[in-house]
A and B are shown apart, each in its own frame.
Chain A
């Protein structure tokens, strides 16, 4: 991906050593430093980058949270969690030097004093650790805390850097709960940080296979002529998980699957599949094309939502042979909850390339297996010669997780004297072909933010357009009258029957995962 405009002149000694923008020395300030995300993902990701030599030595981590804690206590907590959650074993000697660059700043998110102390400490760190005034603020706190944090960062003068340095902010999802709140959040962010300083993280985009979609489409000439309404019958995107709501009921009850998954992750994948080739690989060129896809999504009317959008909720059932309770029986869930744990949609992109190609999207909890896959179903060959009785289409499958890879289903003659034809699968597995394991999504994304590469982060207009699309469905589902029914499905099934009907009406069926 290309360098951001604020990227400095290249270091001549880096030529040939790195095929990506080089991360700059900086202080990474994590708000919500005692939380789950910091312990499970962020610090293990930073440790892995350090252990792989991807992190410049002058990177310092400063935790900011309410609880009183010394630097050493904080380091001890992070060491324990990193040992537990890191993808590679923690080496004592590496941890020792890594830990020397970890600090803790106690403060309340809405208390000015904490930010003044933080500013002072960051200045000291710049001098002692060579972080050169570069600051990366990571908002790993709850969304309700974003506004006070951003406001105080500005008040403390931390939102802007001196000449030659930079200040950036990473914002974790959810980016609002609807269009109005997303706009409000964007306004709040813009009050403190400019758009080019803002990195909205969607960890799906950090996954190797998500990035590979662009390579598959634009580095392989064979797909380009086929990638349109003339050759594609339909597209399916599935994000299935076996897990239930777990400990996230508090959040999930107010969000549901549509806001939690479709508005961000699934629409991002859809954009990568459907976008036009960008003029170059710069962050804005790619995001310009992505946002055009969301803008071209056909807005569903109330009557269409009743037909083309299915919402479901899991009831008791079994996962992997073990009985599990229904959603309404989960802890902290309203026994009469109307929250959807499953969504299936039939979408259309009203542009030249995708006219009349239905895109079926489904996402759900407590489904039989965990898998995120995109499948491109090509049109049938003319019904002459061998194709009179063939029902299977050529299908290109992009597996995002787990078992990342790509497969292509084609037809082949079964050996023998008769002309029997069967579908066969050509299969590419990342794990089989490339021995080296992929880095965690957070590793890639943190490195990109330190390097000033915003390609894999969502821009404000992308987020707002996605909410505009989703809001129409949410409004229909929460209207006072003529509300489409909430369908139920037993845990361990592939969702409610109505989701199958969505495709059956068009003479199609969901792929068997």
Chain B
């Protein structure tokens, strides 16, 4: 898929710029004009409303760049919002643009539209009306919340959200954050699906480990796990803990008092202890897993090339032939693409989270 640049349509040309500055009240007309100008050569596509909220200065530009890439595989109406909540005066500025790509299979130019907002001042009161009045009708609303959650959680907004996407990696207080997310869920009568990118970044490594135990003959290995070692990069301790929580929840382990910040202990259903070692090393967020069951070690590690995983199993003294499996990259575009690709509630995530909440 290739990003297209059309010279005769200013708003469509600079896909990394915010496009045309428009009056907030005129957004619909301006969008119509935009498509009218380009109608002959473009197909507008949209499967969802994807609202992105950030309070980071300059995020409008950086998120526009992300949306240009995300829309290659996920046609949507993007609503990108930067909020400066500390500004003295209330104001709203808006821009419209489109991200156009040529699909390789059909040589068709497919475009997703983006509305960008810069909110100043009373962000919390402006946000629901800004989002709700610019939704593409009948399509679900996915909200990518790039900040920590904070009070008040406006029910007017949350009641409309179908999926909330966030990254718990840098949460300082997991309990409070989760409480806020759950309150939003209640506003939506439990309809909101929670999508934690910190969980998404574990997908390929969970997948690689799980496949060892597909055959029923290997299920007994799960009951005999005695040791788990997780190598994680600085800043990704919560990711490593979520991984441990996943195993704990799925295998009905319960946590015991942590021996230290790098040594955890679970108790399996048969009373067997499972020692977990967390090692902080440079590399991918979670770059190596070694699981010991009896005399067999199951290993998943990032290959040198970085986008493949090496998976192997064997006894300590055995020569192993690793197999390669695809790994996900850790950049926001890859994580978001992965997250948007799947549907359904993440029950397993919630169980994993619950299992290690006290340790996070």
Contacts of A132 in B (CB 8 A): 215, 217
Structural contact, B250 and A57, CB atoms closer than 8 A? no
Question: CB-nearest residue of chain A relative to B46?
Answer: A433
B222 within 8 A of A: yes
Q: Mark A44-67, 1 if CB is under 8 A from B, else 0.
A: 000000011100110000000000
Structural contact, B250 and A15, CB atoms closer than 8 A? yes
Structural contact, A435 and B72, CB atoms closer than 8 A? yes
Structural contact, B75 and A16, CB atoms closer than 8 A? no
Structural contact, B213 and A13, CB atoms closer than 8 A? yes
**Contact partner, A433, options B75, B104, B210, B214, Cβ 8 Å:** B75
A432 within 8 A of B: yes
Structural contact, B222 and A25, CB atoms closer than 8 A? no
Q: Mark A433-473, 1 if CB is under 8 A from B, else 0.
A: 11111000000000000000000000000000000000000
Q: Mark B25-49, 1 if CB is under 8 A from A, else 0.
A: 0000000000000000001010100
A9 within 8 A of B: yes
Q: CB within 8 Å of B: which of A58-97?
A: 93-94, 97
- Given A8-B215, A16-B347, A433-B75, verify A93-B324 contact (CB < 8 Å): yes
- Given A94-B324, A429-B108, A432-B110, verify A53-B207 contact (CB < 8 Å): yes
Q: Mark B222-247, 1 if CB is under 8 A from A, else 0.
A: 10000000000000000000000001
Contacts of A14 in B (CB 8 A): 210, 214
* 21 contacts across the A-B interface (CB closer than 8 A): A8-B216, A9-B219, A13-B213, A13-B250, A16-B347, A17-B210, A19-B344, A22-B214, A56-B211, A93-B303, A97-B322, A132-B215, A164-B216, A429-B106, A431-B105, A431-B106, A431-B110, A432-B108, A435-B1, A435-B73, A435-B75
A422 within 8 A of B: no
Contacts of B349 in A (CB 8 A): 16
Question: CB-nearest residue of chain A relative to B246?
Answer: A13
A11 within 8 A of B: yes
Contacts of B105 in A (CB 8 A): 431, 437
Contacts of B75 in A (CB 8 A): 432-433, 435
Known: A15-B348, A94-B324, A432-B43. 4 other contacts (CB 8 A): A16-B348, A56-B214, A403-B106, A433-B45
Structural contact, A16 and B222, CB atoms closer than 8 A? no
Q: Mark A1-42, 1 if CB is under 8 A from B, else 0.
A: 000000011011111111100101100000000000000000
Contacts of A432 in B (CB 8 A): 43, 45, 75, 103, 106, 108, 110
A191 within 8 A of B: no
**Contact partner, B210, options A13, A25, A100, A434, Cβ 8 Å:** A13
Q: How large is the interface on A (under 10, 10 to 19, 20 to 34, 35 or more residues)?
A: 20 to 34
B341 within 8 A of A: yes
Shortest CB distance B78–A (Å): 14
**Contact partner, B103, options A51, A93, A431, Cβ 8 Å:** A431
Give the interface of B toward A (CB within 8 A).
Answer: 1, 43, 45, 47, 72-75, 101, 103-106, 108, 110, 203-204, 206-211, 213-217, 219, 222, 247, 250-251, 303, 305, 308, 311, 321-326, 341, 344, 346-349
Shortest CB distance A55–B (Å): 9
Structural contact, B215 and A25, CB atoms closer than 8 A? yes
Contacts of B72 in A (CB 8 A): 435
* Bound Cα distance A97, B349 (Å): 32
Contacts of A57 in B (CB 8 A): 211, 311, 323, 325
Contacts of B214 in A (CB 8 A): 11, 14, 22, 24-25, 56
* Bound Cα distance A22, B105 (Å): 29
Structural contact, A11 and B213, CB atoms closer than 8 A? yes
Q: Chain A interface mostly helix, strand, loop or mixed?
A: loop
Q: Chain B interface mostly helix, strand, loop or mixed?
A: mixed
Contacts of B324 in A (CB 8 A): 93-94, 97
Shortest CB distance B290–A (Å): 16
Question: CB-nearest residue of chain B relative to A59?
Answer: B323
Structural contact, B217 and A164, CB atoms closer than 8 A? yes
Question: CB-nearest residue of chain A relative to B352?
Answer: A16
- Given A16-B347, A93-B303, A93-B324, verify A435-B103 contact (CB < 8 Å): yes
Structural contact, B250 and A12, CB atoms closer than 8 A? yes
Structural contact, B346 and A16, CB atoms closer than 8 A? yes
Question: CB-nearest residue of chain B relative to A134?
Answer: B215
- Given A12-B251, A14-B214, verify A433-B308 contact (CB < 8 Å): no
Contacts of B326 in A (CB 8 A): 51-53
- Given A12-B222, A13-B209, A53-B326, verify A93-B305 contact (CB < 8 Å): yes
Question: CB-nearest residue of chain A relative to B305?
Answer: A93
Structural contact, B325 and A9, CB atoms closer than 8 A? no
**Contact partner, A11, options B74, B219, B344, Cβ 8 Å:** B219
Question: CB-nearest residue of chain A relative to B308?
Answer: A93
Question: CB-nearest residue of chain A relative to B322?
Answer: A97
Q: Mark A394-433, 1 if CB is under 8 A from B, else 0.
A: 0000000001000000000000000000000000010111
Shortest CB distance B215–A (Å): 6
Contacts of A435 in B (CB 8 A): 1, 72-75, 101, 103
* Bound Cα distance A22, B344 (Å): 19
Shortest CB distance A159–B (Å): 21
* Bound Cα distance A94, B305 (Å): 11
* Bound Cα distance A25, B215 (Å): 8
* Bound Cα distance A22, B216 (Å): 12
Contacts of B45 in A (CB 8 A): 432-433
* Bound Cα distance A162, B127 (Å): 63
Structural contact, B108 and A13, CB atoms closer than 8 A? no
* Bound Cα distance A436, B105 (Å): 10
Counting chain B CB atoms within 10 Å of each CB, the highest count among A17, A51, A53 belongs to A53
Shortest CB distance A100–B (Å): 7
Contacts of A164 in B (CB 8 A): 216-217
Shortest CB distance B306–A (Å): 11
* Bound Cα distance A211, B105 (Å): 20
* Bound Cα distance A65, B285 (Å): 47
Contacts of A433 in B (CB 8 A): 45, 47, 75
- Given A16-B348, A132-B215, A432-B45, verify A97-B323 contact (CB < 8 Å): yes
- Given A22-B214, A164-B216, A435-B75, verify A53-B204 contact (CB < 8 Å): yes
* Bound Cα distance A53, B327 (Å): 9
Shortest CB distance B239–A (Å): 17
Counting chain A CB atoms within 10 Å of each CB, the highest count among B209, B308, B325, B326 belongs to B325
Contacts of A51 in B (CB 8 A): 326
Question: CB-nearest residue of chain A relative to B328?
Answer: A53
Contacts of B219 in A (CB 8 A): 9, 11
Shortest CB distance B338–A (Å): 11
Contacts of A17 in B (CB 8 A): 203, 206-207, 210
Contacts of A437 in B (CB 8 A): 104-105
Contacts of A434 in B (CB 8 A): 47, 73
Contacts of A100 in B (CB 8 A): 321
Shortest CB distance A393–B (Å): 26
Structural contact, B210 and A11, CB atoms closer than 8 A? yes
* Bound Cα distance A13, B202 (Å): 13
The 6 nearest A-B residue pairs measured at CB = A435-B73, A57-B323, A13-B210, A16-B348, A8-B216, A53-B326
